[in-house]
Structure 1
Amino acid sequence: MKITVVILLLTISLLGVTASYVLPGWRDLILIAGPSAFAAFILLVWTVVRRRKPSKVPSKWGILDGSNVMHWKDGAPGLQAVQDVVIALQRRGYGIGVVFDANAGYLLTGRYQHDKLALRLSLPRDNVLVVHKGEPADPRILTMARDMGAVVVTNDRYRDWDAQFPEVRKPGHLVRGGYRDGTLWRDLPDG
């Protein structure tokens, strides 16, 4: 809401409060003007506070192929590699989305883990997707990356999908990574 509209509402409400005290026969106006003035004041405070907080919408995004990245460390499925990549990308100012195959929870814990994966990665639920059983994750990952202008963090080459998603052949679109001597590495483009 624009601050000028809120100030106008507050001014009109305060005039009504004043009129209810000053003008004889207008006392009942306080029943409307009083709550209106209070509500307009709350709106004014909320609008000013909201304007002071800069929006932290990332300008660049990384979509993690969670089922691929979770095998980067020692080849066994685990969330440590995914957590390490999430932290590394966040430090570089990336917004994060993670997409897992339907069986990811079973590989990690022996049962379905959709919302719990987001919690374990310290990400909002909307940023983690476990595709439905029988649905391939690859086209979802590539579509999300296309729609968001994001890089895809994976060691998969997506050769089965390069006709539909030719951007996978573009240098820097697929970010490879892994561990060397226990240290995470990734071929993240500068910028």
Structure 2
Amino acid sequence: MRAPLFLFLISLFGIAVALVVPGWSDLLLLAAPMALAAAILLLRQQKPAPKRKRSSGPPVILDGSNVMYWKTQTPDLAPVREVIAALTARGLSPSVIFDANAGYLLKGSYWHDNDFAAALGLPHGQVRVVDKGTPADPLILQAARDQGARIVTNDRYRDWLDTFPEARKRGHLIRGGYRKGPLWLGLPKPQA
């Protein structure tokens, strides 16, 4: 049983005892605020996206802060989810790296790695939010180098090409977006 639900039920029981049993009315001072806090926690809980199976295919890194603008030019996780699904369907193993401010742009508050992982249905280790004040671009490029991965982004990483010349190589950066509705990715057509 989830902790907020358990706390809510226990606090309701405490309220009932305080109201029914003589001499136990002071319990109401504890049980009522506890019930309110548990109710707020229950209401704030987001239903996480279903966990996706970790693919064992070639790794691909998404520039999450870039991809989240692809569909409407406003921050949205829907394009990130759709790209993850498309890559997974192609047998690739996607992971995502976000700028530190991505949670603020989406929801008005900081989101940790696990917040994004739950929202995207990915295992915790496949999502990273860079530290505040740290540019994500060199970390994305370094992770791609370390993993032998390609990068899904429309960023050209011009400021980092001297350090990461592989970003110039054709096919290293996978472009994408939405044309007249459907998602497109600069990947070769799957073999039938």
Asked if TM exceeds 0.5, the reply is yes
1:68 matched to 2:78? The reply is no
Q: Which amino acid aligns with 1:169?
A: R
Larger radius of gyration: 1
Cα deviation, 1:100-119, whole Å, max 9, x if unaligned, reads 00000000000011221110
Q: Distance in 1 between matches of 2:146 and 2:188?
A: 19
CA RMSD of aligned residues (A): 1.3
1:123 matched to 2:122? The reply is yes
Q: Aligned match of 1:112 in 86, 110, 113? A: 110
Gaps of 5+ in 2: 1-53
Whichever structure has more helix as a proportion of its residues is 1
Shift of 1:190: 5.8
Q: Distance in 1 between matches of 2:145 and 2:89?
A: 23
* Change beyond 3 A, Cα 1:169–1:58: same
Paired residue for 1:172?
Answer: 171
1:159 matched to 2:149? The reply is no
Q: Contact 1:172/1:189 (CA < 8 Å) preserved in 2?
A: no
- TM-score normalised over the length of structure 2: 0.68
Q: Distance in 2 between matches of 1:190 and 1:164?
A: 31
TM superposition outliers: structure 1 runs of 4+ over 6 Å: none
Map 1:1-191; keep pairs closer than 5 Å.
58-114=56-112, 115-189=114-188
Cα deviation, 1:128-187, whole Å, max 9, x if unaligned, reads 000000000001100111111111000000000000000000000000000011100010
Gaps of 5+ in 1: 1-55
Cα deviation, 1:37-72, whole Å, max 9, x if unaligned, reads xxxxxxxxxxxxxxxxxxx76231110000000000
* Change beyond 3 A, Cα 1:177–1:57: closer
Q: Distance in 2 between matches of 1:92 and 1:146?
A: 21
